[in-house]
Amino acid sequence: GNSVTQMEGPVTLSEEAFLTINCTYTATGYPSLFWYVQYPGEGLQLLLKATKADDKGSNKGFEATYRKETTSFHLEKGSVQVSDSAVYFCALIPSGGSYIPTFGRGTSLIVHP
């Protein structure tokens, strides 16, 4: 079946540090890939997405590139802020069947001033 694997958290960084959160997936065909962010006490919000190989999704300084050859969709940001502290979820929607979304376990990011 389909699955998403994210790096274990928490990831703890100082403000302005470089961020990478790894995400790899297992799925047949060409799924669409997403990163969601969840702030404390809130629901999930879409951060960015990519729908085909080599696409780069970007938003609010975050970016991720759909790598079919390594089945990865790593999230990066060049300079994190305290306000980026949240839980980040990688997700996929398969390209066939019933298009059921699958989420990773989430990676907590803590940014210190």
Partner 1 sequence: EAGVAQSPRYKIIEKRQSVAFWCNPISGHATLYWYQQILGQGPKLLIQFQNNGVVDDSQLPKDRFSAERLKGVDSTLKIQPAKLEDSAVYLCASSRPLVNTEAFFGQGTRLTVV
- What residue ranges in 9-113 does DSSP mark as E strands? 11-14, 19-21, 23-26, 32-38, 44-50, 56-59, 62-65, 75-77, 86-93, 102-103, 107-112
Q: Is residue 53 near partner 1 by the rule CB under 8 A?
A: no
Min separation Cβ 22 and partner 1, Å:
15
- In the list 44, 71, 85, 110, the residue contacting partner 1 (rule: CB under 8 A) is 44
Q: Which of 107, 53, 57 is nearest to 84 (CA)?
A: 107
Site string for partner 1, 14-33 (x = CB under 8 A): ------------------x-
Binding residues vs partner 1 (CB under 8 A): 4, 32, 34, 36, 41-46, 49, 51, 89, 93, 95, 98-106
